[in-house]
A = this chain, B = another copy of it.
Amino acid sequence: MTTPSFMDMALEAAEKAGQAGEVPIGCVIVRDGEIIAAAGNRTLTDRDPTAHAEVLALRAAAHVLGSERLTGCDLYVTLEPCTMCAAAISFARIRRLYYGASDPKGGAVEYGVRFFAAPTCHHRPEVYSSVGESQAATLLRDFFKARR
């Protein structure tokens, strides 16, 4: 599987989240070329303010590996992670972060607090942005257009 294919799986998780009435954001976590966890946003479904796609995928991957440190794992997410998720990604020791659309309003990687550049960030993943960007942005745009 190549890089775009993992992002395709994250986009699929995002679409499913949107169909369930959630903000359409999806995430997969990959280790040794295989997806070990996938999740879409579930804040409304789970009634859990922390149930962002990344947090859910991180928790699932940690469960699969039996460790709170996801050494050697890469994370693919359709939108630039928020402040909570960027910090969670750092705590989990994610190796590489790939994301789709940028998020000027809520992002924390290239926008906002730019957590990975902060002195209180003690593990920085390699970051690859704009992966599958247009599809992720279209998904979100259509979702919010339909809501208004």
What residues make up the interface of A, taking CB atoms closer than 8 Å to B?
43-44, 46-51, 55, 58-59, 62-63, 66-70, 82-88, 91-93, 105-108, 111-113, 115, 118-122
Identical copies of this chain, number: 2
A55 CB contacts on chain B under 8 angstroms: 50
Q: Chain A binding site: helix, strand, loop or mixed by DSSP? A: loop
Partner of A83, one of B49, B66, B69, B115: B115
Contact assessment for A62 and B47 in the assembled complex, using a CB-CB cutoff below 8 Å:
yes
Contact assessment for B82 and A87 in the assembled complex, using a CB-CB cutoff below 8 Å:
yes
Contact assessment for A105 and B120 in the assembled complex, using a CB-CB cutoff below 8 Å:
yes
Contact assessment for B49 and A88 in the assembled complex, using a CB-CB cutoff below 8 Å:
yes
Interface centre among A47, A87, A91 (most CB of B within 10 A): A87
Partner of A49, one of B43, B62, B120, B121: B62
